[in-house]
Amino acid sequence: GGGKRRDSVRVEKQKIRTVFSQTQLCVLNVR
């Protein structure tokens, strides 16, 4: 079951990337 953990890590990175892009959009909208 080692591959499952790697998948969850990849999902976490994707989540972080999505939140980061959303934050950038918010900052751009504020300007």
Residue 2's pLDDT is what? 67
pLDDT tens digits for 1-31? 667 888 899 999 999 999 999 999 999 988 7
Backbone angles phi, psi at 21, to 5 degrees: -65, -40
Residue 8's pLDDT is what? 92
Residue 4's pLDDT is what? 83
Residue 3's pLDDT is what? 76
C-alpha dist (Å) from residue 8 to 17, 22, 24, 30: 14, 21, 24, 33
Cα distance between residue 27 and residue 15, in whole Å: 18
